[in-house]
């Protein structure tokens, strides 16, 4: 019998398939071991990647301390004595505390240009069948608005003009047609931005549109905001002012009878929050490393990185760096975290042990707190340099470990593929052997049946002979 015929027979009558599978299960033990190692390496790589991500996040915060110390350690907040008249938007660029007295005599307004009113049903604006006007915004180039007025009512003409204005100048003005009473309609053109810089000018009216008689509701002198800061006069086209006090933006909301006072002072809460954010990210790194490198002495359960001493030592190295005194600040009063109320717990994480001590340091010596982190040998500087060796550059520790794991995974993949090839070959061999056994049994059963048939025929013949005799 051919091999293909034997395989076909095995597929059709397959009482030995369970035995084949049992044998393959025994032969697969090495593959299962390789797959277990593969799963372990995959978990290890993910854990290393997660540690690298946490370190990178922490390093980003450290770099913001180093590169933007004023924002991180010397931010100023502004408050208004009359926020209904003047409200502070931002003080991000302020470098010094101070007080500013602001008097508002006029708010910036949007310009509005109105046409004459027209009976909507009449046709005053369609006598010639065509018309145009030029509209300019501020010192911008005039834009020509044209419309075909043939056979239109006044309402239709006004609507067409409004639509044309919105299509061509919709980013600068809003044109609308209002019904002012039961019969009359009026065109309104409103600047979308305030101030004389956005004044609407309608000129060169031609044809039917020469009868629009557009006039400005407010004179140019009334469009700008006018205010004083400590007696110095200012005029701006916007109520949002960001170029009067260096580093500060504020909004004018109403005119004032008496001065509104803006007070700028160090925002200790924001600095406190920035330091807490650093602590949280530092702790996130330390806690993750601790979780991934643990070993339970009772159950012998291990974290995925328990055998990676390099990762395990990172936590201790970071702790030693964070808790060291800054050499250049010795004798300054603030040379280590303990001087601003920050300590470590038994698990190596940082916490603010004395919040009042930190706040006092921020109020009395903000520069000293900043120096603790950002000096050339400060904590942020040293931690940043240390973490760079972990996550940055072509030969950083995290990528080197991951590369080693990838090499291991590639070798395991090759060995698993070899095992798959081996197991397929063994499956074919087992099926062939059991097919041959099945054929032997079938041949034996056929021979047995043949013998029994012959014996039956012999018995029948003997009985017949006896009857005849």
**Ordered DSSP codes for 429-463:** HHHHHHHHHHHHHHHHHHHHHHHHHHHHHHHHHHH
Mean pLDDT, residues 53-80 taken together? 93
Q: Does 19 or 378 have the greater pLDDT score?
A: 378
Residue 246, CA distances (Å) to 71, 124, 239, 325 in order = 15, 55, 16, 37
CA angle 114, 116, 122 (to 5 degrees): 135
- Which pLDDT value is given to residue 10? 45
- Which pLDDT value is given to residue 400? 93
Q: DSSP assignment of 342-359, as one string? A: EEE-TTS-EEES-HHHHH
Mean pLDDT, residues 316-333 taken together? 94
User: Parallel, antiparallel, or unpaired: how do β-strands 76-80 and 260-266 relate?
Assistant: antiparallel
Mean pLDDT of the chain: 91
pLDDT band at 433 (very low <50, low <70, confident <90, very high): confident
Place of tokens 């032969």: 27
Longest dimension (CA), the chain: 154
**Model pLDDT for residues 360-372, shown as the tens digit of each residue:** 999 899 999 999 9
Two tokens, residue 196:
């004389």
pLDDT band at 394 (very low <50, low <70, confident <90, very high): confident
**Model pLDDT for residues 88-120, shown as the tens digit of each residue:** 999 988 888 899 999 999 999 999 999 999 999
pLDDT exceeds 90 at position 28? no
Q: Which of 18-32, 189-203, 435-449 is the most confident on average?
A: 189-203
**Model pLDDT for residues 171-180, shown as the tens digit of each residue:** 999 999 999 9
Cα distance between residue 416 and residue 406, in whole Å:
15
Cα distance between residue 276 and residue 341, in whole Å:
12
**Model pLDDT for residues 262-312, shown as the tens digit of each residue:** 999 988 999 999 999 999 999 999 999 999 998 877 778 889 998 899 999
Beta bridge partners of 146: 132
Mean pLDDT, residues 212-223 taken together? 95
**Model pLDDT for residues 227-256, shown as the tens digit of each residue:** 999 999 999 999 999 999 999 999 999 999
- Which pLDDT value is given to residue 464? 58
Per-residue burial over 232-264, b if 16 or more Cβ lie within 10 Å, else e, is eebebbbbebbebbebbbbbbbeebeebbebeb
- Which pLDDT value is given to residue 431? 78
Task: Report which DSSP code applies to 410.
Answer: H
**Model pLDDT for residues 252-276, shown as the tens digit of each residue:** 999 999 999 999 998 899 999 999 9
Mean pLDDT, residues 449-456 taken together? 82
Percent of the chain residues past pLDDT 70, beyond the cut? 95
Beta bridge partners of 232: 229
- Which pLDDT value is given to residue 310? 92
β strands within 242-396, DSSP E: 249-252, 260-266, 342-344, 350-352
Residue 149, CA distances (Å) to 121, 123, 156, 159, 190 in order = 14, 9, 8, 11, 23
In the chain, where are the structural domains located?
A: 1-75+267-458, 76-107+224-266, 110-222
pLDDT band at 395 (very low <50, low <70, confident <90, very high): confident
pLDDT exceeds 60 at position 375? yes
Type and span of the H or E element at 372: helix 366-374
Tell me yes or no: is domain 110-222 CATH 3.30.2310: no
Determine contact, residues 172/191, Cβ cutoff 8 Å: yes
Main-chain dihedrals φ then ψ at residue 120, nearest 5 degrees: -65, -30
pLDDT exceeds 90 at position 15? no
- Which pLDDT value is given to residue 9? 47
- Which pLDDT value is given to residue 456? 76
pLDDT exceeds 80 at position 135? yes
- Which pLDDT value is given to residue 445? 83
pLDDT band at 446 (very low <50, low <70, confident <90, very high): confident
Q: DSSP assignment of 168-215, as one string? A: HHTTTEEEEEEE-SSSEEEEEEEEEEESGGG-EEEEEEEEGGGGS--E
Cα distance between residue 254 and residue 271, in whole Å:
33
pLDDT exceeds 60 at position 356? yes
Radius of gyration of the chain (CA): 44
Residue whose C-alpha is closest to residue 304's, from 316, 292, 296, 294: 292
Cα distance between residue 376 and residue 252, in whole Å:
43
HEC string of 143-154? EEEEEECCCCCH
């Amino acid at each position: 019998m051919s091999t293909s015929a034997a395989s076909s027979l095995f597929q059709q009558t397959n009482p030995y398939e369970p035995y084949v599978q049992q044998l393959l299960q025994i032969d697969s033990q090495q593959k299962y071991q390789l797959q277990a190692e593969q799963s372990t390496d995959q978990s290890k790589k993910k854990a290393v990647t997660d540690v690298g991500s946490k370190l990178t996040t922490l390093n980003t915060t450290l770099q913001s301390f180093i590169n933007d110390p004023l924002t991180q350690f010397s931010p100023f907040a502004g408050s208004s004595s009359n926020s209904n008249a003047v409200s502070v938007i931002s003080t991000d660029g302020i470098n010094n505390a101070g007080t500013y007295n602001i008097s508002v005599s006029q708010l910036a307004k949007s310009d509005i240009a109105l046409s004459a009113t027209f009976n909507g049903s009449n046709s005053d604006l369609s006598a010639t069948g065509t018309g145009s006007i030029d509209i300019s915004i501020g010192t911008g180039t005039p834009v020509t608005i044209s419309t075909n007025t043939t056979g239109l009512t006044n309402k239709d003409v006004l609507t067409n003009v409004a639509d044309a204005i919105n299509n061509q100048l919709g980013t600068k003005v809003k044109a609308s047609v209002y019904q002012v009473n039961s019969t009359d309609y009026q065109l309104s053109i409103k600047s979308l931005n305030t101030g004389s810089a956005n004044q609407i000018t309608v000129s060169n009216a031609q044809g039917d549109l020469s009868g629009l008689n557009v006039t400005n509701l407010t004179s140019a002198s009334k469009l700008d905001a006018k205010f004083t800061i400590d007696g110095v006069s200012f005029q701006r086209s916007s109520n949002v002012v960001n170029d009067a006090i260096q580093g500060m933006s504020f909004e004018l909301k109403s005119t004032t009878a008496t001065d509104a006072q803006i007070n700028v002072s160090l925002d200790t809460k924001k600095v406190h929050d920035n330091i807490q954010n650093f602590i949280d990210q530092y702790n996130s790194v330390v806690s993750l490393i601790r979780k991934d490198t643990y070993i339970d002495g009772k159950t012998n359960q291990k974290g995925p990185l328990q055998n990676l001493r390099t990762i395990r030592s990172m936590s201790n190295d970071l702790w030693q760096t964070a808790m060291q005194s800054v050499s250049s600040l010795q004798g300054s009063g603030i040379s280590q975290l303990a001087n601003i109320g920050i300590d470590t717990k038994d698990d190596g994480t940082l916490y603010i042990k004395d919040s009042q001590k930190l706040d006092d340091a921020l109020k009395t010596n903000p520069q000293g707190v900043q120096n603790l982190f950002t000096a050339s040998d400060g904590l942020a500087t040293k931690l940043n340099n240390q973490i760079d060796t972990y996550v940055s550059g072509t030969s950083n520790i995290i990528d080197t470990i991951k590369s080693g794991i990838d090499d291991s995974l590639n070798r395991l993949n090759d060995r698993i593929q070899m095992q798959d090839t081996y197991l397929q070959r063994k499956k074919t061999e087992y099926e062939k052997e059991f097919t041959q056994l099945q054929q032997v049994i079938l041949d034996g059963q056929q021979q047995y049946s043949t013998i029994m048939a012959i014996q039956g025929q012999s018995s029948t013949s003997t009985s017949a002979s006896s009857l005849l005799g």
